[in-house]
Amino acid sequence: MLSSGVVSTATRRVISVGTPAASSAIRTHKIPGPRGNTLAKYGGRHTVTVMPGDGIGPEMIGHIRTLMKYCNAPVNFEEVQMTSTPYDGDMEEVIYAIERNGVGIKGNIETKFDDPAFSSRNVELRRRLDLWANVLHCVTIPTVPSRHKDIDIVLIRENTEGEYSGLEHESIPGVVESIKIVTQDKIERVARFAYEYAVLNGRKKVTTVHKANIQKLGDGLFLQIAQEMAKEYPSIEFDQMIVDNACMQMVSRPQQFDVMLMPNLYGNIISNIACGLVGGPGLVSGMNMGDVHAVFEPGTRNTGTGLAGKDIANPTAFLRAGIDMLRYLGCHKHANVISDALWQTLTEQGIHTSDIGGSAKTSEVVEATLRNMERMLPRYQ
């Protein structure tokens, strides 16, 4: 089980921190609904689709695979290529592979915003697989520099419609209509997910974010559905907040938030604020959930192209995406050993990449986590 040789000694800044209870802070979610199985499981092993993507994606996927292999996680990887340089049929190949396996893990694909003909391949993937809920868990990690302490927010975002419907046209020269689509069914399923998530994970409050004072029909419907549904969940406090105020409250007093339920675009913006508050894009993972498919990725959906090949990116966000995936597959022991080992690396050992104030290389974070796993594994059998 324990491999040899590949691990060198990483530089360690030993900082004594943390209550033992805090070690569960990145031990990720219980996921509502009849989920937890890959469609492709043979001989006790799951097959998952891997899309390394652009930028740091390929090297980060490599690290995930190393850690999973090290603890004998019963997962096989089927790799498919999709990058910002499309080739004929590559999207179909990816879609078929995820439909076949039910589960995917991906890096981000660069979206060229200066080319009007190039629409986001990430958005297309989510839409075509109907991955309707995006879930991020933003929690402060002791020793990681952040503007606030004690943040622990779960952000649940409608992931397929709203401003991301992709329906834009220039009706007459100089006038563009950009259509925001809001549908009752799609709001209901994501709102239901948020309340169920809250109950399942012992959360207390769901705050619905909206701009219903201006977008009276579209956001009005979102708010109305969330408010009505809250009555079915008396143990969960209902709260709502206008998106501009929510942004201000996030940066001034983020501890007031527990679960946040949001339409697509506001969810994108607020999720990025939340990731920034707990230490940046290298730390948080994101889950994209549908009825039968799930795709795991870094929460802020960055490519980190400028960091690629330098061994300096923070691997935490990707590793947590891998942990989320193991959890989803029901591989809890493997998820626990990786997340607890990573937690030890980041907190007790203070081994940090430069984005969070350290000088460690990506590989040093991974190597330290492997060493921690080596010590922990006998206790996780």
- Footprint of ligand ADP on this chain (CB under 6 A)? 55-56, 281-282, 302-307, 313-314, 317, 355
264 binding Mg ion? (CB under 5 A) = no
Nearer to ligand ADP, 129 or 307 (CB): 307
Q: Alpha-carbon distance 184 to 259, whole Å?
A: 21
Residue in the shown chain whose Cβ atom is closest to Mg ion: 303
285 binding Mg ion? (CB under 5 A) = no
User: How far is CA 5 from each of CA 166, 275, 292, 327, rounded to the nearest angstrom?
Assistant: 50, 35, 40, 29
The pattern of x and - marking residues 21 through 60 that bind Mg ion according to CB under 5 A reads ----------------------------------------
Pull the structure tokens for residue 214: 């201006």
Q: Alpha-carbon distance 71 to 374, whole Å?
A: 9
Cβ 55 to Mg ion shortest distance, Å: 6
Q: Alpha-carbon distance 26 to 36, whole Å?
A: 19
Which one of the spans 65-73, 95-103, 266-274, 299-307 is the region binding Mg ion (CB under 5 A)?
A: 299-307
Cβ 101 to Mg ion shortest distance, Å: 27
Cβ 59 to ligand ADP shortest distance, Å: 10
Residue 313 interacts with which of ligand ADP, Mg ion, none, CB < 5 to 8 Å by class: ligand ADP
Q: Which position among 28, 271, 303, 372 is part of the footprint of Mg ion (CB under 5 A)? A: 303
Q: Alpha-carbon distance 49 to 40, whole Å?
A: 10
Nearer to ligand ADP, 219 or 367 (CB): 367
Contact status, residue 190 vs residue 155, Cβ threshold 8 Å: no
Contact status, residue 208 vs residue 170, Cβ threshold 8 Å: no
Nearer to ligand ADP, 282 or 350 (CB): 282
Contact status, residue 193 vs residue 32, Cβ threshold 8 Å: yes
Residue 355 interacts with which of Mg ion, ligand ADP, none, CB < 5 to 8 Å by class: ligand ADP
What DSSP assignment string belongs to 296-356? EEETT----GGGTTTT-S--HHHHHHHHHHHHHTT-HHHHHHHHHHHHHHHTTS----GGG
Cβ 362 to ligand ADP shortest distance, Å: 8
Residue 317 interacts with which of ligand ADP, Mg ion, none, CB < 5 to 8 Å by class: ligand ADP
84 binding Mg ion? (CB under 5 A) = no
Q: Alpha-carbon distance 187 to 263, whole Å?
A: 8
Nearer to ligand ADP, 23 or 354 (CB): 354
Chain centre to alpha carbon of residue 262: 15
- Amino acid identity, position 328: Y
Cβ 300 to Mg ion shortest distance, Å: 10
Nearer to Mg ion, 215 or 305 (CB): 305
